[in-house]
Structure 1
Amino acid sequence: MRSAPLLALVCAVAASLLAASASAAPENRCGWIVNPTPGNWWLTDRDGDWILATQGSDREALGMENIGDISAGDYRAVNGNYGYACGCMKVEIGKEDGTQFITAVYSFRQLKLAQCDKDKSLPKVE
């Protein structure tokens, strides 16, 4: 029958599409949210650095406005008005050429700096 190979192909394509959409499901990531200079943002968690935005790049996570003004909460300034905070965010992620990216930010909850300071899975912010 000719329909059996076609059915197998359709099933394989459907399975790969489901797997791709499952990997893009939002996940919770907690750690240091760092904004050291204008236009540069990343999250450092137990899995490393996740780039949100880089000055001069067209790549920026959707939903950056959901982060808000981190200096309004528990915050450490290190470069004039720029610095870092501790927080958790619901995000979608991606990886390209060994670099980890946050592609979308759905929500952000700022935490006390002490919470990240005490977390042994997080590196110290320099």
Structure 2
Amino acid sequence: MRDINFSKISSRRLFFSLIFGVSNFFILLSFTHADSSLKNSELRCGWFDNPSPGNAELTDTAGVWLVAQQGEYKAEGAWPKFSAGQWVQTGTGSYGYGCLCIFGKFDSETRRVLVIEKTVSKPTKLCRTDKKINEVEPFNPLK
């Protein structure tokens, strides 16, 4: 097995290689990078749930991570964008959930997403067929 020198790979190339190089299962990877803005960044994949205004969380194999809580907290960075086919609407407005990978900074003590650096929306089928997270699909009152 060959060692990979992550410091010689651009963060964008590494991020997309990891996401698109892994077909039907998700990975959790922590690593440091030579670029100081990416130190302690992690890749986490799972369900992104936005059930109401200003509230969102990510549920992956490690549990639930707070992305935002109305009036209390919001992770830095842009929220993910989903195509219509990747987003499950759960009521009026644009509220719902989808499957994605977030590359960013996470605090394992507070269970918060601190910084969202990059996101890639995935088909919901990937989360639904992943045995580690398929049973924690967010509730859909419209079903």
TM normalised by structure 2 equals 0.63
Contact 1:70–1:84, Cα closer than 8 Å, also in 2: no
The one-letter amino acid paired with 2:123 is K
Q: Hey, what does 2:10 align to over in structure 1?
A: none
More helix by share: 1
Query: 1:83 maps to what in 2?
Result: 96
TM-score (ref. length: structure 1):
0.71
One-letter identity of the residue aligned with 1:70: F
Is 1:61–2:107 an aligned residue pair?
A: no
CA contact (8 A) 2:81 2:121 kept: no
1:120 aligns with 2:134: no
Q: Secondary structure at the match of 1:79?
A: coil
RMSD: 1.8
| Structure 2 residue runs without a partner (length 5+) | 1-35
- Report if aligned partners of 1:73, 1:110 keep a CA contact under 8 Å in 2: no
Counterpart-to-counterpart distance in 2, 1:70 and 1:35: 12
How big is the shift at 1:69? Answer: 3.3
Percentage of identical aligned residues: 34
- Residues 3-62 of structure 1, C-alpha deviation per residue, up to 9 Å, x if partnerless? xxxxxxxxxxxxxxxxxx9xx6101000001100000011000111100110011x2111
**Partner residue in 2 for 1:74:** 86
Larger Rg: 1
Unaligned runs of 5+ in 1: 1-20
State how far apart, in whole Å, the 1-side matches of 2:80 and 2:108 are. 25
Q: Detail structure 1 runs of 4+ shifted over 3 Å in the superposition.
A: none
Check the 8 A contact 1:36/1:78 in 2, yes or no: yes
2:115 aligned partner: 104
- Bigger relative CO (Cα 8 Å, ≥ 6 apart): 1
Higher strand share: 1
